[in-house]
Structure 1
Amino acid sequence: MSKGDHNSNSVVGAGDESTPKPHYSIDPNDGKTKNQNNIHQHSYHALHEYNDNDDGGSPLLKRIKTNERVNSADSHNWGNRRPSFLGLGSSLNLSKENDKLLNYIEKSSRLDTVQELRHLSLIGHIGRYFDWSESYKTDDELKALKNRKLRNFYEDQNELIEKYQEVDKLLDSGIQINMIRNYSDRNDHGEVHRPIPNETYGSIEHEDDDIEPPTTPLHRKDSAVPGNIDLETGLLLGYNKADEIALINFAILVNFAANIALLLGKVVVAVLTSSISIVASVIDSALDFLSTLIIYFSNKLANTKNPKRFPIGRARLEPIGVLIFSIIIIISFLQIGIESIQRLIYPPEAGEIVAIGFTSTVIMVVTILVKVVCYFWCKSIKSSSVAALAQDALVDVVFNTFSIIMPVLGYYFQLYWFDPLGALLLSIYIVVQWSYTCFEHIIHLTGKSADIDDQRVILYLCSRFAEKIHKIKTLNCYHVGDSLNVEVDLILDSNLSIRDSHDLAEALQYTLEALPIVNIERAFVHIDYTVTNYRGHLS
């Protein structure tokens, strides 16, 4: 209601026939003044709008609406209305209802004010610490640097600055304020539509048993996370988890189809040439086929939720699958290396030299081109499973190139040992490459510390999150497979209530887990009031 409407209603006389009477359920003879009637009118219309936007409506509002309809009918038949037992109008009870209504409006307004002050008090106003664009080097500036080490330093610094800028973009959007508001709405108004499962409390993962994560709608009535942080973070920073999973599955299927076709082509070449280098390439393609199956099923299981049997998910199946595949490849090519050494030590009696025909050459060239395309495409997808496929495609490019070049050179120079030497060199290359991959996944599964840049990004987010975070006592970031676990100890204001401390810490926890630029599986935010407290763990 506008200010002009309020003034016009305040001066309307009871006997003014030219001005329509206000539509509120107050008896003209109940002894209330015109100003009081206006207060009730304001209260009714305010609550009427609230009730129209509310799905269920409160019992008080329903009673008020019912009374309004009854009194509206009575107002048209004022002279024919029967008096009550005490000789008073029936609007006396209605007046009491309106008093309750006025109290409800006042309490709601007071509660809204407290909520606004609460999130402003907890989060405060922490701006950006630094204008990162001042230190960012453009591509032209990087190209102008002649020193390779200096250029690499600034390239790494640019990557870190880009991550800082994404954190700034996320926090400047006010997403943490929205989360604290969401806590207030949920707890003060009781807007809880379903309980949060115990198995997934405090985590972004809230899917049902054994189902794949769907593409979640942007507006969920009963979100299990405050402020839809899992969706809003991706939207703000341009990430989409569902699309990423679909792209990973598509990349795996494309590699699967390509490996089948290339395997059949290499089998034909091996039959035509009898080259041990080509045979090694056939074995490599067969292992590619096996690796795609292992990675596909491990990725499928890792993204299938079963909170009862696997409370924190099965994301570690991806690196375990890659680890198993690495061991299979290493063992296979050790065997090929042994066979190559035997052919070098014990050459064929007739000095037979392998000849590569036109058909075999075309098949191998097509294989190399297909693997080059697969490598660059898979490299652009951020996933350990697809990264393993990208590495495998790069190995295939090198492997297939040498497996065709060495026999051709041996035939051209009439040197029989070129072919087994090429197979031996390729075997050594494969064993070294996949041994490195195997070792990397082993140390990640055993809890290696996170990359220092990832730790800096996490520390920066925690320090900028809210003013009530006075200090950061401890920060531990370590691998659990491909993902990270983060443990952070915060020093909060000792005067904060349990509720405020909990909401602030858990809001930070959700924000860390939703941060797409760092692959965090679980975040654990502990709160403390002094830096001199105990460590919190026995070991």
Structure 2
Amino acid sequence: MADLTGSGVCSEDSELLLPESGCAERSWRLNFDGFQRSELKEKPPRGLHDCLGVLATEDVVAEYYQQQVEMLEGFNEMDALADRGFLPGMSKEERERTARSETLAIRLSNIANMLLFAAKVYASIRSGSLAIIASTLDSLLDLLSGFILWFTAFSMQTPNPYQYPIGKKRMQPLGILVFASVMATLGLQIILESARTLISDLALYTIRTWSTTVLENVNSLIGRTAAPEYLQKLTYLCWNHHKAIRHIDTVRAYTFGSHYFVEVDIVLPSDMPLREAHDIGENLQEKLEQLPEIERAFVHLDYEYTHRPEHAQAHS
């Protein structure tokens, strides 16, 4: 591994001036203080490229720099968590006010959907129009989706550590999976029942949209890996966690419902006392679990990194 002790912007003079804090304390950490974000320029008109859906050279370059900007912003967020021990954000009172406002909005939306559904049912009975009946079914599905989301949110807010020791946050993607399956099935039924609906493309769009939703939630339940950019942020946070960390053997994040499970293997000095090593690993676990996307984090401590990866999958 390359020597990273001089990767910061601090000089030897500054370290002599600040021996107890500042540069001397951060000299062992990775940092990007010397990097500056370039100003994003307005894209020129593309004309034919827009019509054909082809990325021009300037678009590829702009996309690359945009990814770099987002990466630096993610590293700054990890620096804040490493220095403060918590993520900056809303206070408890602000979160409670926001939650009450969201609850009120959901209730008002449900009441409006119920009134609209009742009016459409009356209009469907009186007119017998297929268009109005289809609109009535759409309102019924709005009510069904609202009920499923409310039920899953209520279930996640009432934990039961004895029956569900890892929590019930997977209720939300499971509820969406059920509703998306109903929507896809209904779309297929509309295709089979009405040629006019097929010609108008209402049903095909519904099947495609909700089938995509089904696939996305299936991936979240089977343990799909996180994006490389997110793994970069986690690796950055782990390395800057403590100066005693010699190597980072493994950083793994995979979906487990709507959140991530994270596994980290760090290498500490072989002669370090157990108490100190335990505290380093536990503090890193607590930092990782403060990230809103992470449900659980597991930190494995080791004294060398030449062995085979932990929990390696067997190959036939």
Asked if these proteins are the same fold (TM beyond 0.5), I'd say yes
Aligned mates of 1:531, 1:446 — CA distance in 2: 29
Q: Is the CA contact 1:301–1:314 (under 8 Å) kept in the aligned structure 2?
A: yes
DSSP-derived class of the 1:134 partner: coil
Which of 460, 464, 469 aligns to 2:240? It is: 464
Counterpart of 1:134? 36
Residues in 2 aligned to 1:153 and 1:248: alpha-carbon distance in whole angstroms: 37
Structure 2 residue aligned with 1:314: 168
Task: Provide the TM-score with structure 2 as the length reference.
Answer: 0.78
Q: Which has the larger radius of gyration?
A: 1
CA distance in 1, matches of 2:34, 2:194: 56
Q: Is the 8 A contact 1:474 1:490 kept in 2?
A: yes
Q: Which residue pairs with 2:199 in the alignment?
A: 421
> Are 2:302 and 1:524 aligned?
no
Deviation of 1:444 (Å) = 0.8
Picking from 440, 458, 463, the partner of 2:216 is: 440
Provide the C-alpha distance between the structure 2 equivalents of 1:270 and 1:524, rounded to a whole number of angstroms.
56
Indicate whether 1:296 and 2:150 are aligned: yes
Aligned to 1:163: 74
Structure 1 counterpart of 2:82, one-letter code: L
Is structure 2 residue 279 aligned with structure 1 residue 503?
Answer: yes
DSSP-derived class of the 1:445 partner: helix
Asked if residue 492 in structure 1 is aligned to residue 268 in structure 2, the reply is yes
Structure 1, unaligned stretches of length 5 or more? 1-119, 176-232, 345-418
Change (3 A) 1:324 1:420: closer
Q: Which amino acid aligns with 2:109?
A: N
- Conserved in 2, the CA contact under 8 Å of 1:142 and 1:154? no
Instruction: Note if 1:282 corresponds to 2:121.
Output: no
After superposition, the C-alpha distances for 1:36-90 in whole angstroms (9 at most, x for unaligned) are xxxxxxxxxxxxxxxxxxxxxxxxxxxxxxxxxxxxxxxxxxxxxxxxxxxxxxx
Matched AA of 2:77: E
Q: How does 1:212-251 map to 2 (within 5 A)?
A: 233-234=86-87, 236-238=88-90, 242=96, 245-246=99-100, 249-251=103-105
1:162-181 per-residue CA deviation (whole Å, 9 max, x = no partner) reads: 222212223233x3xxxxxx
**CA offsets, 1:230-280, max 9 Å, x none?**
xxx24x244756566555544533432332233234335545654433322
For the residues of structure 1 that align with 2:127 and 2:141, how far apart are their CA atoms? 21
**Which SS does the other structure have where 2:112 is aligned?**
helix
What is the 5 A alignment of 1:17-416? 125=26, 126-127=28-29, 129-131=31-33, 134-135=36-37, 137=39, 141-144=40-43, 147-173=58-84, 175=85, 233-234=86-87, 236-238=88-90, 242=96, 245-246=99-100, 249-271=103-125, 274-341=128-195, 344=196
Cα RMSD (Å) of the superposition? Answer: 2.7
Q: What does residue 256 of structure 2 align with? A: 480
SS in 1 for 2:265: strand
Contact residue 221 and residue 257 of structure 2 kept, 8 A: yes
Q: Which amino acid aligns with 2:227?
A: D
Give secondary structure in 1 for the equivalent of 2:247.
strand
Q: Distance in 1 between matches of 2:121 and 2:69?
A: 47
Change (3 A) 1:269 1:131: farther
- Structure 1: how far apart are the matches of 2:187 and 2:91? 39
Give the partner amino acid of 2:266.
L
- In structure 2, the gaps of 5 or more residues are 1-20, 46-57
1:127 and 1:490 map into 2 onto residues whose CA distance is 15
What is the number of residues matched between the two proteins? 276
More displaced, 258-267 or 491-500? Answer: 258-267
Does the CA contact (< 8 Å) of 2:262 and 2:296 recur in 1?
A: yes
- Residue type of the partner of 2:244? K
User: Which letter does structure 2 place at the counterpart of 1:263?
Assistant: F
Give 1:474 shift: 0.7
Contact 1:477-1:487 within 8 A present in 2 as well: yes
In structure 1, C-alpha distance between the alignment counterparts of 2:42 and 2:123, rounded to whole Å: 45
Instruction: Name the SS for the 1:143 alignment partner.
Output: coil
Deviations 1:465-507 (A, max 9, x none): 1111111001111000110000000001222110000001010
2:291 aligned residue (490, 493, 515): 515
C-alpha distance after superposition, 1:82-120 (max 9, x if no partner)? xxxxxxxxxxxxxxxxxxxxxxxxxxxxxxxxxxxxxx9
CA distance in 2, matches of 1:159, 1:244: 27
Task: Name the CA shift for 1:259/1:128 in 2 (closer, same or farther; >3 Å).
Answer: farther
Distance in 2 of aligned mates of 1:159 and 1:321: 32
Partner of 1:304, secondary structure, is coil
CA distance in 2, matches of 1:277, 1:157: 49
